[in-house]
Amino acid sequence: MLNTLWLIPIVPFAGFLLNGFFGKRAGKSFVTAVALAGSLGAALLGTWAVIEYNAHYHHGERHLNVVYNWFTSGNIGADIAFQLDPLSIIMLMVVTWVGFLIHLYSVGYMSHEEGYWRYFAYLNLFMAMMLILILGSSYLFMFVGWEGVGLCSYLLIGFYYDKDFAAAAGKKAFIVNRIGDFGFLVAMFLMFAYLGSVDFMKVQQAAMAGGVDSAIITAICLLLFLGATGKSAQIPLYVWLPDAMAGPTPVSALIHAATMVTAGVYMVARSNVLYRLSPIAMMVVALIGAATALFAATIGLRQNDIKKVLAYSTVSQLGFMFMGVGVGAFAAGVFHLVTHAFFKACLFLGSGSVIHAMSGEQDIRRMGGLWKKIPITAWTFLIATIAIAGFPPFAGFFSKDEILASAWSTHFFPGVGKLVYVLGTIAAFFTAFYMFRLFYLTFFGKFRGTHEQEHHVHESPATMTVPLIILAFLSIVGGFIGLPHVIGHNWLAEWMHPLIPDVEGHGPLHIAGVVEWTVMIVSALVALAGFLLARSLYRGRELAADESFERRSPAVARTLENKYYVDEFYGAAVVRPLAASSRFLWKVIDAIIDGIAAMLGFIVRGFGDLLRFFQTGNVRNYALMFFLGVVVFLFLLV
Amino acid sequence: MPILSIVLWLPIVAAVALAFFPRAADSAIKAFGLFASVVTFIMSLFIVTGFRTGAAGFQLVEMKAWIPQWGINYALGIDGISLWLVMLTTLLTPVVLLSSWNAIHKHPKEYVISFLIMEAAMIGVFVATDLILFYVFFELTLIPMYLVIGVWGGANRVYAAIKFFLFTIAGSLLMLFGIIYIGFQYQHATGVLSFAITDLYRVGVTPYAQTLLFFAFSLAFAIKVPLFPLHTWLPDAHVEAPTGGSIILAGVMLKMGTYGFLRLVLPYFPEASIRWSGLLIALSVIGIVYGALVAWVQPDMKKLVAYSSVSHLGFCVLGIFAMNQASIEGSILQMINHGLSTGALFLLVGVIYERRHTRLLADYGGIARTMPLYATLFIISVLSSVGLPGLNGFVGEFLILAGSFQTEPIAAVIAATGVILAAIYLLWLVQKVFFGPVTNEENRDIKPIAWNEVAAMVPLIILMVWIGVYPKTFLAPMGPSVRRLINIVKTEGNAPVLVADESAGEVARAPLGGAK
């Protein structure tokens, strides 16, 4: 299996082709079987490969499986090659197994959709592309997956393509991501020009060998990070992710929470050697991450669409991951990526189950009192909420805590590290608050929807609840893979250790025991405070708290509800001026050019009139005469 | 077997034969034309099989004296630069004839004959190894295209045809002057008159003359490409041209310009090319951004695709004047890619125009529901055009940009914004035409895409995937010819421009031969 790693993405790709070509006619059971086989096949093959890897390699070496040389031209080129190493393995396990669970869930959730076959074809294509992204052994091949998942995201956000907002959201996602991809591309140009390759290992070696201007390394890191801000929805390119909720809810869980959006974090962790050579770039990553974490969390406070709350929460949590990798705690960032995949997938799938039960309703102001009616959904949602809010010993607590402790302890920029810690802790408080607000408004109090909705409320089928239960379980125990040193064993940090070689004398971050304890206690108290505040405001009081806040500070409320008017700002500052200048180029500049051309023609023609030579009014005759004239003239010349 | 002559003359023989067909035999005429172009394509496959990868110079050469007293020969040959352009021509001609099977009702006989003659002339441009022969073919392509636009075009066809004709002929007459001048310079130096392209590589002209000639040739080719600001004839020509005319115009004819830069301008005027490369690069980068922005605000689908061609061809010229192995190979590949993806887009725009007689974006919306297969084919072509990795466009653009970055970093970075802009205008098009609710009742029951239109798309899509997944098939034959071209320019020109930036370090310099 190790030498046929390419099979892992090929299996879901085959599923895509089968369902794409035959799904429409073949019927639903065929589509279901193919799609599940595609995703389960990838998960099983991946697991098999991991088992073999563990039997053959003991020190985190990279296993390389070169399939063929994609292209080579001059000094530009890359192989189609897959790799397995500790980081790829973590991603592989999360992507394939969480992916399979979400495929399973989708069978129930999408069962009434007319585009069932199309949905699963895209979903399998997504799996294939995501696997290329995480198994590719070079930036360029990774970019194939990177763009491929972007395409699937575009197609799936716009799945309900006859809705204008869905089509617009898909396009927005693709274009905003393209801005990030521009950074990724230029970073690769720099790698070819200055590091001689885009292979992960060779880039790392060339960078560590020294001799490359540190400004170049910084430029590469910042450009890669521009790519990451697109794909992983960070300031300033996060704006597409909330709109992406127009897609079916399982897509939000898989692509826009658990897997694709974490690709930027994966990329930074993958490039940790480059980043550690450029503390400035790391600081930018950490600060953008912290700012995004806090900014998105505040927006989450006043969103009323259940999926929008989760979307801003995702943006915020991705910010936490970037805080981690930015301060140099690469394992911690990846740790949070893993736990977030569990609890956020659980939350999104849970919200899907709620929406399903509520006959398509997404506004939490019209929910309430669902606790008894859909108990499995409610319990799993509660568990995931506890996990994301950061209560020990649930999964989110340990990973978020390691990030915050690392920010406090970072040696790259100790002062800024403290600031990052403070911002992160405030964001964590808001997280606990808005998540419990969401929880209470959805599941407690009176039912605020219509009678028909109330009559219709039902628990989801087993294909949907089983994935919820599994993910909820993982949200409880997932944190144990990375316990703080003062408590136990950080398996994940050890597993990742070989990927983080000493750079300029520094290995992975060291966190003092007292810091670990203090941060843990503070984090637990912050989570508790957020929970208690939300409980006092929303439990049994329905929407009274939101309404009174709106009365007391209408400006703040409106600003948050309108997401700080960032979309409006981009429209006014970028999109409209660009469109206006495009129209100017077309209507004015092109017309001027045509005018000049006509004038030249007019002069030539006037000249012709004057000479009255061969004036037949026929263009071809003019041309012929001109042609002959040139020939005669040349012969006279020689 | 004189395979190049066979491929070159087959369409002409077929065109002559068609002249004897009765005017009323509509489908017989179309069937015969299609048959002849398919046979030509099959024969052209023997060019590929007979081509020796690894050789740099002209292959499969043929030579007959034509006008011996003036040193003009019927000389043909092919190398890594022209190989795929010939194949593109022989591929797109049957694609055009197949896709327009039901679209042409007016003078079908003349229509088919025009395309066959055009095919031969375009092949001639790419296989001629004698400058005069090259020029004859270069001009010969104009006449059938002029007729195709002028006879089978839209409402404003006469204006567009004349504009097309005048713009392109204005440039090429200056080039003719240059060709003859170079020939006589050769005679001056050697005592023999020759117009063989490779003989003339050895002609040295004074720097002053070189500059003048460089501009004479460049003007001709820049109009053809078209390079900003000489592009304004193109949108008009495309909008008025029938679908088939647009496919050939964008697919092949524009590449006669980029081909001319590679085949003639760089090797003949290396010093001037290097000295003025900054100008050409600036114009191509402006064209990339300009074409993309203007494409975005077009209300007419065909104009949108036409302006996108200005943008895409800007990449090709950038790659040529960045003058390194990767950028030039990327440029040649991008010529093919553009022929496939833009050819496909023009074809598909023609498909709905045929049914709804409008090309305005505003008249559509929600077509994905009524024409799902059509929408799928269109979106694949769009993805190819925006350079999605895994499809053809990405490899070409990446080689051009990454290659150009090593010699012209700023230009490459600005050009790279073109990948953002391409997504903006093409996805805008997709959203407006295919997505959203069906707002226009007339779009509710459009006739689905027909078998002949699908069949015409199939080879294009196969090639988009092939080039995207395994581009080596297409890149491998180019390598030696491009390397030789760069050597010619480098040894005769001012070397430093051709090597990577000083600070690039050993790694970057080494593959360029470590030249200094």
Q: Which residue has the higher pLDDT, B208 or B33?
A: B33
Q: pLDDT of B342-379, one tens digit each?
A: 999 999 999 999 899 899 999 998 899 899 999 999 99
Q: Which residue has the higher pLDDT, B30 or A613?
A: B30
Chain A residues in contact with B398 by the CB 8 A cut-off are: 76, 140, 185
Residue B497 has pLDDT above 60, yes or no: no
Nearest to A198 by CA among B463, B417, B288, B405: B405
Q: Is the Cα dihedral B411, B417, B418, B419 positive or negative? A: positive
- Taking an 8 Å cut-off on Cβ atoms, the answer to whether B167 and A193 are in contact is no
A592 and A546 both lie in a single domain: no
Residue A377, domain member (yes or no): yes
Nearest to A111 by CA among A43, A37, A27: A27
Amino acid at B476: A
Residue A143, domain member (yes or no): no
Chain A residue whose CA is closest to B331: A73
- Taking an 8 Å cut-off on Cβ atoms, the answer to whether B505 and A211 are in contact is yes
Please, which pLDDT band fits residue A607 given cuts at 50, 70 and 90?
A: low
What is the number of CB-based contacts under 8 A between chain A and chain B? 188
The residue among A10, A71, A590, A635 with the most chain B CBs within 10 A of its CB, best to mutate, is A71
Chain B residue whose CA is closest to A76: B326
Considering only CB atoms, B436 lies closest to which of A167, A178, A193, namely A167
A194 and chain B: CB distance < 8 Å anywhere? yes
Q: How far is CA A526 from CA A41, A508, B285, in A?
A: 42, 27, 54
A298 and A403 both lie in a single domain: yes
Pairwise CA distance, residues B107 & B115, whole Å? 13
Pairwise CA distance, residues B269 & B272, whole Å? 5
Residue A20, domain member (yes or no): no
Chain A residue whose CA is closest to B367: A162
A631 and A509 both lie in a single domain: no
Residue A163, domain member (yes or no): no
Contact A11, A38 (CB under 8 A): yes
Q: Count CB neighbours of A547 within 10 A.
A: 12
Q: pLDDT of B149-192, one tens digit each?
A: 989 988 888 888 888 888 888 788 888 988 988 888 888 888 88
Q: Which one of A560, A589, A607 terminates a domain?
A: A560
Considering only CB atoms, A73 lies closest to which of B412, B419, B475, namely B475
* Confidence at residue A623, expressed as pLDDT on a 0 to 100 scale: 61
Q: What is the ipTM of this complex?
A: 0.91
CA distance B508 to chain A (A): 5
Q: pLDDT of A87-126, one tens digit each?
A: 999 999 999 999 999 999 999 999 988 899 999 999 999 9
- Taking an 8 Å cut-off on Cβ atoms, the answer to whether A76 and B326 are in contact is yes
Considering only CB atoms, A582 lies closest to which of B293, B366, B437, namely B293
Q: Is the Cα dihedral B80, B86, B87, B89 positive or negative? A: positive
Amino acid at B167: F
- Taking an 8 Å cut-off on Cβ atoms, the answer to whether B293 and A167 are in contact is no
A293 and A378 both lie in a single domain: yes
State which residues form the domain around A356: 279-560
- Taking an 8 Å cut-off on Cβ atoms, the answer to whether A162 and B475 are in contact is no
Residue A31 has pLDDT above 50, yes or no: yes
A456 and A597 both lie in a single domain: no
The average pLDDT across A402-406 equals: 96
Considering only CB atoms, A179 lies closest to which of B298, B395, B420, namely B420
Where helices occur in A503-637 by DSSP H, the ranges are 513-538, 544-552, 554-561, 566-570, 576-584, 590-611, 619-637
Q: pLDDT of B307-353, one tens digit each?
A: 999 999 999 999 999 999 999 999 999 999 999 999 999 999 999 99
Q: Which one of A560, A577, A597 terminates a domain?
A: A560
* Confidence at residue A627, expressed as pLDDT on a 0 to 100 scale: 58
* Confidence at residue A398, expressed as pLDDT on a 0 to 100 scale: 95
- Taking an 8 Å cut-off on Cβ atoms, the answer to whether A75 and B177 are in contact is no
The residue among A21, A76, A602 with the most chain B CBs within 10 A of its CB, best to mutate, is A76
Pairwise CA distance, residues A327 & A282, whole Å? 6
* Confidence at residue A631, expressed as pLDDT on a 0 to 100 scale: 57
Q: pLDDT of B65-95, one tens digit each?
A: 988 888 889 999 999 999 999 999 999 999 9
Chain A residues in contact with B231 by the CB 8 A cut-off are: 593
Chain A residue whose CA is closest to B376: A20
A553 and A572 both lie in a single domain: no
Mean pLDDT estimate for chain A:
91
Percent of chain A at pLDDT above 90? 79
A628 and A500 both lie in a single domain: no
A202 and chain B: CB distance < 8 Å anywhere? no
Nearest to B120 by CA among B102, B143, B152: B143
Q: Is the Cα dihedral B95, B96, B98, B103 positive or negative? A: positive
Residue A49, domain member (yes or no): no
Q: Which one of A560, A578, A595 terminates a domain?
A: A560
Residue A13, domain member (yes or no): no
- Taking an 8 Å cut-off on Cβ atoms, the answer to whether B508 and A75 are in contact is yes
- Taking an 8 Å cut-off on Cβ atoms, the answer to whether B388 and A147 are in contact is yes
A385 and A366 both lie in a single domain: yes
A496 and A534 both lie in a single domain: yes
A584 and A472 both lie in a single domain: no
Pairwise CA distance, residues B414 & B286, whole Å? 9
Residue A134, domain member (yes or no): no
Residue A509, domain member (yes or no): yes
Considering only CB atoms, B232 lies closest to which of A148, A197, A594, namely A594
- Taking an 8 Å cut-off on Cβ atoms, the answer to whether B329 and A147 are in contact is no
Domain count, chain A: 2
Q: pLDDT of A411-441, one tens digit each?
A: 999 999 999 999 999 999 999 999 999 999 9
* Contacts made by residues A551-558, CB under 8 angstroms, sequence distance 24+: A557/A302
Q: Which residue has the higher pLDDT, A629 or B195?
A: B195
A553 and chain B: CB distance < 8 Å anywhere? no
